Amino acid sequence: MHETNTHTPSGLMTVEQATAFLTLGRTAFYALIKSGKIPQPLKLGPRGGSSRWRRADLSAFVESLSK
């Protein structure tokens, strides 16, 4: 994991920010979501067209890897 400016003021991250934060490609990121290791995204907007992940949830995932 590397630290770049990957967080938003609200603590929500786009897929681009989340994959950069975790240093994963999109395919690996979505595979981890499908397996339940990373939580499903929050769906924002009236039709749920925007997906965001909580930075705290992604940090918790990283922490779980060291256990």
pLDDT tens track for 6-38:
445 579 999 999 999 999 999 999 999 999 999
Question: How many structural domains compose the chain?
Answer: 1
The reply to whether 40 falls in a domain is yes
pLDDT confidence bin for 47, thresholds 50/70/90: confident
The reply to whether 54 falls in a domain is yes
Contact 40/33 with Cβ under 8 angstroms?
A: yes
pLDDT confidence bin for 67, thresholds 50/70/90: confident
**Would the pTM of this model clear 0.85, i.e. be above it?**
no
- CB atoms inside a 10 Å sphere around CB 25: 10
Which residue did the predictor score with more confidence, 46 or 40?
A: 40
Site of tokens 């499908």: 34
The reply to whether 4 falls in a domain is no
Region class of 45: left (phi > 0), else alpha (psi between -120 and 50), else beta = left
The reply to whether 5 falls in a domain is no
Q: Is the pLDDT of residue 1 over 50?
A: no
Q: Containing domain of residue 34, as a range?
A: 12-65
Report the pLDDT value the prediction gives residue 4, as an integer from 0 to 100: 46
The reply to whether 1 falls in a domain is no
The reply to whether 60 falls in a domain is yes
Listed residue (62, 56, 55) closest to 17, CA to CA = 55
